């Protein structure tokens, strides 16, 4: 074997260790951007208080600009009129980025089965962690946060929503037949 092969093997070991160290560091520095639209926001704020201490997960200080955040917490019902705003905010975030669906309305549309409500934000943006509940209990939120930390450490990202023929979903979900915008 040539000298170049041995050097490449050493480099692979170093980059693997570096990737693991970066994943571990990212896991404990979650810069979240809360996108709160409805009643689950109260539970989100209650979970963020000192009693549950989300700061031990590195998620204690929310950002107020999507450009400074790497995790988008979507909290509450998303209407079709709000969907383009959510998509724009997600697009403004830098890579790598993750999204969390907080509450059953965000995950699936909840009990709102009508023309005005998006039936799950995964039709608009890729979702990494779903935290169901109406509202989700703080213990479920902490569990979801730990699952998100695992994904961040491994460097895995959610797949983008796709429509027919495997093309990106874009925002065509906003133009459903019979929808009044």
* Domain-embedded: residue 45: yes
Closest CA to 135 of 127, 126, 144, 147: 144
Per residue in 85-118, pLDDT (tens digit) is 999 999 999 998 999 999 999 999 988 888 999 9
Cis before residue 96, ω within 30 degrees of 0? yes
What is the token pair recorded at 91?
A: 């697009």
Count of domains in the chain? 1
* Domain boundaries, position 56: 29-158
42 or 50, higher pLDDT: 42
Q: What pLDDT is recorded for position 180?
A: 41
- Tell me the CATH number at 76: 3.40.50.12280
CB–CB of 142/100 below 8 Å? no
Give mean pLDDT, residues 144-154. 89
Q: What are the DSSP calls for 100-143, one per residue?
A: EEESHHHHH-TT--STTB-S-GGGTS--SEEE-SSSPPHHHHHH
CA 15 to mean position of chain CA atoms = 26
pTM of structure:
0.77
């Amino acid at each position: 074997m040539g000298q170049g092969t041995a050097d490449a093997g050493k480099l692979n070991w170093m980059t693997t260790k570096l990737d693991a160290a970066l994943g571990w560091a990212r896991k404990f520095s979650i810069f979240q951007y809360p996108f709160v639209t409805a009643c689950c926001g109260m539970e989100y704020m209650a979970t963020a208080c000192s009693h549950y201490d989300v700061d031990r997960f590195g998620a204690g200080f929310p950002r107020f600009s999507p450009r400074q955040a790497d995790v988008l917490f979507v909290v509450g019902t998303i209407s079709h009129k709000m969907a383009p705003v959510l998509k724009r905010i997600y697009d403004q975030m830098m890579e790598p980025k993750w999204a969390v669906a907080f509450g059953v309305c965000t995950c699936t549309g909840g009990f709102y089965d009508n023309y005005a409500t998006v039936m799950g934000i995964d039709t608009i943006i890729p979702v990494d962690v779903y935290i169901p509940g109406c509202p989700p209990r703080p213990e479920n939120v902490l569990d979801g946060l730990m699952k998100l930390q695992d994904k961040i450490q491994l460097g895995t990202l959610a797949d983008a929503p796709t429509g027919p023929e495997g093309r990106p979903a874009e925002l065509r979900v906003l133009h459903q037949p019979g929808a009044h915008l």
